Amino acid sequence: MSMTKQTIDQINLRNKRIIIRVDFNVPLDDELQITDDSRIRAALPTINQAVDEGGRVILCSHLGRPKGARRSEFSLAPVAKRLQRLLGKDVPFASDCVGPEVEMLVESMQVGDVLLLENLRFHPGEEQNDEAFAAKLASLGDVYINEAFGTAHRSHASTVGITKFMKVAAAGYLMKREVEYLESTVDNPTRPFVAILGGGKVSGKIGVIENLGKHVDKVIIGGGMAFTFIKGMGLEIGRSLVEEDMLDFAKGVQEHALSRGVKFYLPVDCVVAASLEPGAETKTVPVQEIPVGWYGMDIGPASVKLFDEAVQNVKTILWNGPMGVFERDAFSRGTFSMAHSVANAYALTIVGGGETALAVHRAGESDNMSFISTGGGASLQFLEGKKMPGLDALPDCVS
């Protein structure tokens, strides 16, 4: 499946002011230092292309959820510094994303210059897809490139509204890659195809389970959502995470998969903790023996071995959601082992963004995956087969 939208390669960038909507929503620590810059790096080919073609590049992004208010901890200033280093050139930083100061900075730009605007979400108009705000943003440039797959599932001013006011719009390289990888995985995977689904809740993945269920040969379920399936089988799960209203759905999914000949894997053992306090007593038990009052926190070693064997003979792996509370050392083994198994499988490996990408990064396996999606919620929505407003707003290719 190829991308049907117009892409950056198909338009003339020479002497144009090019607004690129990037996804620089990077994780920051308490000192406001960037802990993972892979989203910035992912946009570099598109930025460099615009620079090399003789454009003036205006970058805009959101960071976090400032909810329409100016909050210093959500400033993109740390990103400007990192970007300078990665591009090896000066990147001026505007203290806003619209208004007179920004207009002056844009006016004074030379060919090949790169300017980064302050957080779009400091303005309520961004998330409201406000027409006046979108028009102001659009007035800064001649060409619009959407490179932010991570926000393509949102109807915001910088992803949807702006396209009404731009004569020329297209997708960047990263947007193109994301769409092509995810589309080909779902529509035409090389088989056998396994989906590994983890994370906390079944409800968050209903659409993905239902849509992928039609395409996969194997399903592996881990993380907190596994306990809803385990309880659905009538087993004691202690105080583990469970969605009572999803028990029938979970049971149905499993039965439906088995009736279609899809192999369905659930954990056979798990690491449990006596309480949620750090340092609480932990032990590994078969899933049939979870003690009353204990919490399931990770898959156990037998599950790791089972899942590892299940992915060894497949050709396509899609992984979305960790196997346990990997942020805590005591419960990181299941997720990190899964990362090693996926990396070592002789297969096309696609990792859905967000927490899973972070886990793969911490396991030291990022470079060994075929593709890591930069969009958590966006990749989920795409895999559910739902509409992507940010993508739909772009013009189709003229063949």
Q: What is the DSSP string of 286-315?
A: EGGGPPTT-EEEEE-HHHHHHHHHHHHT-S
Cβ atoms of 101 and 94 within 8 Å: the answer is yes
pLDDT of residue 186: 82
* DSSP helix/strand/coil, 8: helix
Q: What is the separation of C-alpha 248 from the centre of its chain, rounded to a whole number of angstroms?
A: 29
CATH number of 8-176: 3.40.50.1260
Report the pLDDT value the prediction gives residue 143, as an integer from 0 to 100: 98
Q: For domain 189-383, which CATH number applies: 3.10.180.10, 3.40.50.10800, 3.40.1390.10, 3.40.50.1260?
A: 3.40.50.1260
What confidence score (pLDDT) does residue 310 get?
A: 97
Active site residues: 39, 201, 354, 377
Q: Where are the alpha helices (DSSP H) in the chain?
A: 38-52, 77-87, 100-107, 124-127, 131-138, 173-187, 206-213, 226-232, 247-259, 301-312, 333-344, 355-362, 376-383, 389-392
pLDDT value, residue 185: 84
Terminal CA-to-CA distance of the chain, rounded, Å?
15
pLDDT of residue 184: 85
Measure the CA–CA gap between 65 and 85, rounded to whole angstroms: 26
DSSP count for the chain of H helices, then E strands: 14, 14
Neighbours of 182 (CB within 10 A): 22
- Low-confidence residues of the chain: pLDDT under 70: 1-2, 353, 399
Give the pLDDT of residue 2. 54
DSSP string across 60-112: E---S--TTS--GGG-SHHHHHHHHHHHTS---B-SSSSSHHHHHHHHTPPTT
- Residues 172 and 175: their CA atoms lie apart, in Å, by 5
Q: CB of 250 within 8 A of CB of 228?
A: yes
**Strands across the sheet containing 17-21:** 114-116, 56-60, 17-21, 143-146, 168-171
The values of phi and psi at residue 262, to 5°, are -80, 135
**Which of 267, 280, 188 lies closest to 228, judged by CA?**
267
Question: What is the pLDDT at residue 1?
Answer: 35
Q: Give the tokens for residue 258.
A: 């088995």
Residue ranges, CATH 3.40.50.1260, the chain? 8-176, 189-383
Say what the pLDDT of residue 113 is: 98
